[in-house]
Amino acid sequence: MSSMLTHAIRNIPASSAWAARVFARSLSCSSQLQAAAVQPKSKKTLAKSGVKNIVVVEGVRIPFLQSGTSYADLMPHDLARAALHVPRDVVDYIVYGTVIQEVKTSNVAREAALGAGFSDKTPAHTVTMACISSNQAMTTGVGMIAAGQCDVVVAGGVELMSDVPIRHSRKMRKTMLTLNRAKTLGQKLSLISKIRPDYFTPELPAVAEFSTSETMGHSADRLAAAFAISRLEQDEYALRSHTLAKKAQDGGLLLDVVPFKVPGKDTVTKDNGIRPSSMEQMGKLKPAFVKPYGTVTAANSSFLTDGASAILLMSEEKALAMGYKPKAYLRDFVYVSQDPKDQLLLGPTYATPKVLEKAGLTMADIDVFEFHEAFAGQILANLKAMDSDWFAQNYMGRKSKVGAPPLEKFNNWGGSLSLGHPFGATGCRLVITAAHRLKKEGGQYGLVAACAAGGQGHAMIVELYPQ
């Protein structure tokens, strides 16, 4: 498998009790990670004169579950508040990311905070930026702390794909709104008489681009074809993701996962989408989007996922004053945008060199890579593009390639293909996983990157806190 992946990369084609337990871990290094930790390499710190140091004190998430399973009867704010197990009286602000909003709780951050028992004096707002929504939540928190507006911010994300809004057709909505304003019985009957059977056809939500009317799966298929990523290579990468995730889960490495007692059901303790299969079984699946010749299938795509995550951010001074031992610094970050049709999912390719240059680092300086895996074809196409002088010169305005991350440092505890991808919650998972891996693997710098609908992307440098 490793030879196939190397070939793919290098050849360019043309509860409060929980709170006590979770945050006790922040007062000292996690015992599990401490036992296995390697002495970090000695590198320069990325601290900047006159700029506040922002630290990650802790990060948690409830188990990520396949949609339609144990979270199916809940609402998004139920999941979000389950991840809000932090010291409530010290939080200055809460910001959450989400993609498909429940209309009853459009500001899900506020409803989650109230539901979790936070003071009604704690402000909260919700952001959306497709699959990098919680990334945006985190960097919004970083900005607020850096500007001196807050000392303690909770940033997170949530998605509930088990129950998404289904609307009446636009014709029906217009008729109903007009009917609501009708004053006489005659006016109401006249409007009702104009309703036709097709008015009752519901509008189902689709994971599609508004500007292109194309699903991300179609874009992934075209991207894989453009970069000559075979079905076999995609299946091999997906199997790698599930195998590494299973190993990490069984080895107790996914320390950000906290149990969640689902009302009326059992307590959920672990992600349920991790399912290592075989190449033979994966090869039997039919193309999911471009039929019959596409290469993207259910086996090599991230699945519809329910879940929520949260990260506690503080200024370094505040964290130390409260007696916490931070896990990591959040350093430089960038957002990028590109063509939402042909380059929809290439955000990491464009964001990575920019964030490295901003931080004064090279690919060789990075010890841990955590990239969002929307599709196996998407992630392999990004790795190919990053390792191509031709792509750098013709599409990125660069003289040379940035280089592909070495696989031995890349998504070593699984990724979105196996752990799941609740759109608004994935960014926080990437960051806290990078912090935990840096501690365990003896590194200092991590690079987190993700693509997003709309042809956007994000990358951030995570620096291990001195041990």
Spatial distance between the Cα atoms of 458 and 241, rounded to a whole number of angstroms? 21
Residue 24 tokens read as: 């006790």
Distance (Å) of CA 249 to CA 179, 275, 367, 402, 419: 55, 11, 21, 32, 10
Give the Cβ contact number of residue 286 at 10 Å: 9
Mark whether 451 is an active-site residue. Answer: yes
Strand pairing partners for 414?
A: 412
- The strand pair at 328-337 and 54-61 is best described as antiparallel
Residue 305 tokens read as: 């996922």
Spatial distance between the Cα atoms of 254 and 245, rounded to a whole number of angstroms? 9
Give the Cβ contact number of residue 10 at 10 Å: 12
User: How many angstroms separate the first and last alpha carbons of the chain?
Assistant: 36
Burial (CB < 10 A; 0-12, 13-18, 19+), residue 287, is: middle
The DSSP secondary-structure symbol of 404 reads P
Indicate which residue of 29, 150, 428, 451 is catalytic.
451
Indicate which residue of 29, 131, 150, 428 is catalytic.
131
> In this structure, what is the dihedral angle of CA atoms 433, 270, 376, 241, given to the nearest 10 degrees?
70
Mark whether 428 is an active-site residue. Answer: no
3-state secondary structure of 82: helix
- The strand pair at 328-337 and 368-371 is best described as unpaired
Spatial distance between the Cα atoms of 338 and 456, rounded to a whole number of angstroms? 6
Cα-trace Rg, the chain: 23
Type of residue numbered 40: P
Ranges of beta strands (E only) in 54-164 are: 54-61, 65-66, 93-97, 124-127, 152-160
Spatial distance between the Cα atoms of 354 and 360, rounded to a whole number of angstroms? 10
Positions annotated as catalytic residues are 131, 451
